[in-house]
Each structure stands twice: as C-alpha cells, then as structure tokens.
Structure 1
Amino acid sequence: MHKTLARLSSAACALAVTACVYTPSTVHVYDKECDIRVREAQLDVSQMNSLGQCSNEGCIGQVISAGFVSAGSAIVSGSIVIVANIAYWFEKQQSCKAINNKQVITG
C-alpha cells in the first residue's frame, strides 16, 4: 500500500509540475472585409513551476492546489475572453458600418 501511494504521489507531482495558468490578452488583427484593424481576445498559457521539489504525502496537497489554480484560471480567463470577444465583435460591427456608410455617402 505504501509503495502504491508513493508511486501515485510521484506521478501526481510529475503531472503537477506541468500545471498551467491561463490569462487573457488582447491582440490586434486585420479584418480584410472591412479593411480595418480590430481587437481580439485570446487565452495565453504559462506553466507553473512551483512544484519542483515535493515528496510523498506533502506533494498531494500541492498537486490538488495546482489543479484548482489551473482549472480556476481557465474558467475565469476563458469567461473574460468570451465576454471581451463579444464586445469586440460589436465594436467591429460599428466600425465597419461607419466605414460602409462613409463610402456610400462619398462614393
């Protein structure tokens, strides 16, 4: 039983060392349809390196914590990206509509 727990802890530590944190970021992209630059939100991924040295039972708590941090950052940051992209889509629609109206008037 003790060997199984030790192996499980070692495997969990190895997996947790590669746990990721997700953060939202905004980039500018060119929209050919409207001939403008628009904003777009995306998820950036960075690796957590806080679990470098753990052993046996002490590792389990760190693995669980890393899992919660990784999952939490994915949920919160993913939600931010979705909301931001909806807002950026409306912003793009307004900019595109203004450009099309200007072209009709001056065209």
Structure 2
Amino acid sequence: MRILLLCALVLSMSGCVFYPKEANKQDLAAKCHKSMKTKKLVLELSENQMALTCGHSHNAQGNAGCVALFAALIPATSLVVSGSIVLVGNALHWLEYESQCRT
C-alpha cells in the first residue's frame, strides 16, 4: 500500500512537463514595420498527468527505484529540451529584428 501511495505522489509530481509556446505579447514584432517570420517563445508548464508503468513486479525496491528515476528524468529532460528550443528560437527572433528592423 505504501508503494502505491509513493507511486501516486511521485507520478503527480512528474506529470509536470515544459513545452515551448508562442508568447502572447510580441514586443519586437510590434516595433518592426516589416513582417517578421519568427515569433518570441516562452516556456509553459503543463501539469497533465502522465501515465507511467514500472512493471508488474512485486519487488517494492524495484518499483520505487523505477518511479524515482522517471519522476526525476521526465521533468528534467522536458525542461532541457524545451528550454533549448525557446533559447534558440528567441535568439533567432532577436537576430531577425536586429538585421531587418533596427534603424
């Protein structure tokens, strides 16, 4: 029973994933009189619950280790990948503004 409660708690925390999203406010594009192809991006947090199965083993330590691994790995990987996309996208957005719109 403890393992199931632990799994439920850890899974609810690991359900947080990050994703890149177009920003509602496009400051640089508003300043530019030309049409910009790139958009400013922001990092959003989704709290959707993610399904995770750690096997059907009755070994409590194996299941707890599996849950702990995925609880740490999923949000961290999501943050690194999505954060990199936002960083590169915003750098391109700024470069486009600097090269075409800055007077």
Bin of the TM-score, shorter chain as denominator length? 0.5 to 0.7
Q: 1:32 to 1:80 in 2, by over 3 A?
A: closer
> Please, what is the CA RMSD of the aligned residues?
3.5
- Kept in 1, the 8 Å contact 2:21–2:44? The answer is yes
Larger Rg over CA atoms: 1
TM-score (norm 1): 0.61
* 1:42 aligned partner: 42
Is 1:61 the equivalent of 2:57?
no
> 2:69 and 2:29 mapped to 1: Cα distance?
46
* Structure 2: runs of 5 or more not aligned: none
Aligned pairs (5 A) from 1:7-46: 10=5, 13-19=8-14, 20-27=16-23, 28-31=25-28, 34=31, 39-46=39-46
| Percent identity (aligned) | 23
* Structure 1: runs of 5 or more not aligned: 1-5, 101-107
> Cα distance, 1:83 vs. partner?
0.6
Is 1:89 the equivalent of 2:94?
yes
